[in-house]
Structure 1
Amino acid sequence: MSALIPLAPGVSYLPGAVNSVVLEDGHGGALLVDTGLDDSHARKLLRALDSAGLTPTGILNTHSHADHHGGNTFILRRFPEMKVFAPPLEAAIITHPILEPIGLFGARPPHELQTKFLLAPPSLARLAPEPGLCRLGGVTVELIEVAGHASMMYAVRVGEVLYAADALFGPDALAKHPLVFCQDSGLQKAAAARLGGLEGVRVTLPGHGGPTEELADLVAANLATHARTTQAVLDAVRQQPATVDDLLPRVCDTLGVTMTSAGAVVLNRAVVSAHLTELLEAGAVQMQVSANRLVFGSQA
């Protein structure tokens, strides 16, 4: 049976493909931060709470990717009065999850893009408070805005513990997925660097991976991975002007990525597009329409 792993007094987490953080209110209740991909993870989370003598008082989803809120509905069936909170824009997608695959595909998505990895069950989410200190589910937390991986995203700090959500990935996750998903690569880099500047953080838990006391090393590893992706996209453009769909396999070849599903293609295509936008804004790449194709080339 899965059990909560303590990070500090009143702060623990349930490890999984995505970590769920449990913040105690001191009265037998707990705020849940991210609920995992599906019912299976949510069931383990509730069992771990029961074993610890805790009752959930609310849910905070750091962002709207399905693996962070897919467990909401299972928990809400048992605790229907509980509230779900999420950052702006993200709350809309959690409430209407079809927006996620629509955004990736650009139209009503085919069946292959409506799997649980891209389309979680809907759960009514309301806007979380603005970044800063606030109380959610009876717990005082500090919300830190870390947009980039998602359109909006919050990291969560309680005392000396930082839950970075997907602003930072653990080393194993970076090695397994070198094309780290993002919707704004420039903001993604800025968010990671900003977290690296926090003082008084004793332990950092990424959304994917184990806890570490070496925040600076974790930030450096993430920034290096993001920089490699930007360079791989630029090198792909420099080979020959091309569309995003032509650039994607070049980038994958450079980074050793093999795609075997439609979901992987649309996710990684979005990553290449994000880095192209960053390069366009930096003046390193140009974009033009040629022969009915949107083509990206390097600046002369």
Structure 2
Amino acid sequence: MDLVRIGDNLYYIPAPTNIGVIVLGEGAFIVDSGLDDEAGRKILRALERNGLKLIGIINTHSHADHCGGNSYLKRRTGARIYAPRGEICFIENTLLEPFFLFSASPPMEMRNRFLMAEPSEVDGRAEELADIKVVSLKGHSIDQIGIIFDDVIFCADSVFSRKIIEKHGIPYHSDVDEERRTLNSLKESKYRLYVPSHAEPTPDIGELVEDNMEAIEVVEENLLEVLKESKRTDDIVSGVLNRMKIEVKDVGQYMLLRSALMSYLSSLRNRGVIRPELRDEALMWILEG
């Protein structure tokens, strides 16, 4: 890992989860901290090689690959951690993430570093930071934010590269309607540079937005086709996965995909396209009209 300059007092570290670096006075803030202690060590070495002292960590949201380095970095440097209001409880109690996906205490298969970062205490809300602007990018998670500095936006998981979309088939969004609003907002925005967490920085976000909009439409189209035949929730999930030829390798992946599809069912219900119905003690989804 090393720093790439993208502005005055502004850098990013190319990594599996791209890391922003904002230099303020004698110290540096980073945007997100990677998956685990090893990511934290690499980030700290990159900062030290460039003579920078870590004073703050801003988490765009609470998923493990964005806050997993928090605990290590805070122990080593005393850096303060900031996060958006709706994500703080997940960062401080990381069992909530697999709990959220499973809707109950999660089985051991879901208690891993990809779904559960090491917990870390948050010191303040990102929205209250001076000199650093925060913008809401809800959709992928409950209260995801983007970080703006020197006309550059670190836009977290609001967009994914085409490669990531093709790899996963169904990009994860906890609220697909909020994600649509976020994508439309990004499409209309005019920042000098966009730095997504899982795509190359770009001065033009348009193509990424279109790729992600298209991915949402493809999932919804497949879901509506399955709904013509399948009605029970888990039959709908398996129908979409089979139709989209998505191979599920473990329980955690299945629950992520199931949770993402539940967001689509909720969206369709709220738009009056389908309705929920209980039959024989099973939750069914019925196309209207």
| Aligned partner of residue 228 in structure 2, secondary structure | helix
Q: Which of residues 276, 282, 288 in structure 2 aligns to 1:287?
A: 276
Cα-to-partner distance string for 1:117-163 (whole Å, 9 max, x where unaligned): 111111001442448xx42xxxx221110111101010111123111
Per-residue deviation, 1:256? 2.8
Q: Which of residues 80, 83, 93 in structure 2 aligns to 1:83?
A: 80
**Match for residue 150 of structure 1?**
141
What stretches of structure 1 of length at least 5 have no aligned partner? none
What stretches of structure 2 of length at least 5 have no aligned partner? none
- The question of whether the paired residues in 2 share the 8 Å contact of 1:86 and 1:125 is answered with yes
**Match for residue 208 of structure 1?**
198
Q: Which of residues 49, 52, 61 in structure 1 aligns to 2:50?
A: 52
Letter in 2 for 1:59: I
Per-residue deviation, 1:4? 1.2
Per-residue deviation, 1:106? 1.3
**Match for residue 253 of structure 2?**
264
What's the % identity of the aligned pairs? 29
**Match for residue 36 of structure 1?**
34
CA distance in 2, matches of 1:184, 1:172: 22
CA distance in 1, matches of 2:126, 2:250: 37
Per-residue deviation, 1:178? 2.4
Letter in 2 for 1:158: F
TM-score with structure 2 length normalisation? 0.96
Letter in 2 for 1:277: S
Cα-to-partner distance string for 1:73-104 (whole Å, 9 max, x where unaligned): 11011023x21111112101101111111111
CA distance in 1, matches of 2:151, 2:167: 29
**Match for residue 221 of structure 1?**
211
Identify the range of structure 1 (88-97 vs 272-281) with the bigger mean alpha-carbon deviation: 88-97
- The question of whether the paired residues in 2 share the 8 Å contact of 1:234 and 1:279 is answered with no
Cα-to-partner distance string for 1:251-281 (whole Å, 9 max, x where unaligned): 1223231110111001000000000000001
**Match for residue 188 of structure 1?**
179
**Match for residue 113 of structure 1?**
110
- The question of whether the paired residues in 1 share the 8 Å contact of 2:58 and 2:126 is answered with no
- The question of whether the paired residues in 1 share the 8 Å contact of 2:230 and 2:239 is answered with no
- The question of whether the paired residues in 2 share the 8 Å contact of 1:38 and 1:70 is answered with yes
CA distance in 2, matches of 1:119, 1:24: 29
- The question of whether the paired residues in 2 share the 8 Å contact of 1:21 and 1:32 is answered with yes
1:160 aligns to 2:158 (yes or no): no
TM-aligned CA distance change 1:120 to 1:258, over 3 Å: same
| Aligned partner of residue 152 in structure 1, secondary structure | coil
CA distance in 1, matches of 2:74, 2:133: 24
Number of corresponding residues: 289
Per-residue deviation, 1:239? 2.4
- The question of whether the paired residues in 2 share the 8 Å contact of 1:196 and 1:216 is answered with yes
Letter in 1 for 2:212: N
**Match for residue 163 of structure 2?**
172
- The question of whether the paired residues in 1 share the 8 Å contact of 2:230 and 2:236 is answered with no
| Aligned partner of residue 286 in structure 2, secondary structure | strand
1:22 aligns to 2:21 (yes or no): yes
TM-score with structure 1 length normalisation? 0.93
| Aligned partner of residue 239 in structure 1, secondary structure | coil
CA distance in 2, matches of 1:297, 1:92: 35
CA RMSD in angstroms, aligned pairs only: 1.4
- The question of whether the paired residues in 2 share the 8 Å contact of 1:242 and 1:297 is answered with no
